[in-house]
Homo-oligomer: A and B are copies of this chain.
Amino acid sequence: MPVPLYQAKADFFRTLGHPVRIRVLELLRDGPRPVRELLGEIEVEASNLSQQLAVLRRTGLVTAVREGGTVVYSLATPDVVDLLAAARRILTDMITGQGELLAELQAEAAK
């Protein structure tokens, strides 16, 4: 296996390795959203959110479209949903029986 490939994979996962970015992806799961709205749901500075959005954009996980005064973000591919689901399965396994996080993960999976 050539080097650049798993480097690319690692970069990809690293992109997901940030609370704000994960949060954004989960919010976008339900459909496109303007920055203003994201900002309302994630407690973080506007410039910081913008920074994280830039990372997601660069990676190609999300796309941005300007609509008048606001910018609307969406998932670049619905496959992201599968990925987040697979991650949740593993996380559930890992935490089973010992974490306060367990209930939250299960509640989320059920809805």
Contact = CB atoms under 8 A, between A and B. Distances in A.
The binding surface of chain A is classed by DSSP as: helix
30 contacts: A1-B23, A4-B100, A5-B108, A6-B23, A6-B26, A8-B95, A9-B87, A9-B88, A10-B17, A10-B22, A12-B17, A12-B91, A13-B13, A13-B14, A13-B17, A14-B14, A14-B16, A14-B17, A14-B18, A17-B17, A61-B90, A77-B90, A77-B93, A77-B94, A79-B90, A80-B90, A82-B86, A82-B89, A83-B90, A85-B86
Contacts of A61: 90, 94
A33 interface: no
Interface of A: 1-19, 21-23, 26, 59-61, 76-77, 79-80, 82-83, 85-91, 93-95, 100-101, 104-105, 108
Contacts of A22: 6, 9-10, 13
A6 B25 CA distance: 11
Contacts of A108: 1, 5
